Chains A and B, each alone.
Chain A
């Protein structure tokens, strides 16, 4: 069953996808730097009235929990925050664009957090984002 993106249900399925991603388990096994938030910027056409965030409580190669939050609070709950427009997240989830390339093109932005740590764990970061592609997803637009 496909889950609407973004939504509470999608976020829960994302947690399962992260925990089912063997490559993430390996690449993220040393990650102890705290939660990561993915923020989708408001897009009324896609039914996103305000910025919306998914906070992933990732630690040592597993996702211990998730939160789906409307508004700007998600950024306060995470040590690392990646922000992008709805269309860009859609391309990443559909594997139309690599997350590292998207960052270099300024389409995904690290607005909070220690970039050297993200670079040190670049494969972990990539697998975290690519886990999203494993979630059966329905896009509103």
Chain B
């Protein structure tokens, strides 16, 4: 499912991302299913390391390229530490958040029904959202504010970004 384009194996960032994804899929087979749902082109640039790569998702698998190849749908430019931190962001299950929010409704029966409907709708998206209280999320937000982490194309590709986050997220109870 993961292919290295010519030259990608010699690019440290590209080799790391491919290795990370392969091992994440081995740890959590649900990520294989997620990978098969993604279509899009994502460029990553580690500015302080002066290295760039492109991930091309075609709905069946992923091809990893060295450098920026084609016109990316999403592009992230960041310091090496922040690119690593993106794999460590703390997440929340959005269906649980919405379920909890629905409980604020005054009528318990309506609250239960609305909560259930919202959970069903969001569960189909199969993504998690960043936990705003997580230490790594806070650090990333700071980097965005400072302009040292920049994401291009996010407004049109929020779903792609969230799926990418889930795909590369490191399981917190890894062996």
Contact = CB atoms under 8 A, between A and B. Distances in A.
Interface of A: 33, 98, 100-110, 114-117, 119-120, 122
Interface stretch (B10-18, B35-43, B106-114): B10-18
B23 interface: yes
B151 interface: no
Nearest to A122: B84
Interface string B139-175: 0000000000000000000000000000000111011
Interface of B: 10-13, 15-16, 19-20, 23-24, 27, 46, 48-51, 80-81, 83-84, 87-88, 170-172, 174-175
B84 A114 contact: no
Given A103-B12, A104-B46, A117 B174 contact: yes
A5 B16 CA distance: 28
B155 to A, nearest CB: 28
A115 B51 contact: no
A100, A108, A117 pick with most chain B CB within 10 angstroms = A100
Nearest to B169: A116
A132 B26 CA distance: 33
B171 A104 contact: no
A101 to B, nearest CB: 4
Given A102-B12, A106-B12, 9 more contacts: A104-B13, A104-B51, A104-B80, A106-B13, A108-B12, A114-B175, A117-B174, A119-B84, A120-B172
A85 to B, nearest CB: 13
B53 to A, nearest CB: 9
A118 B172 CA distance: 12
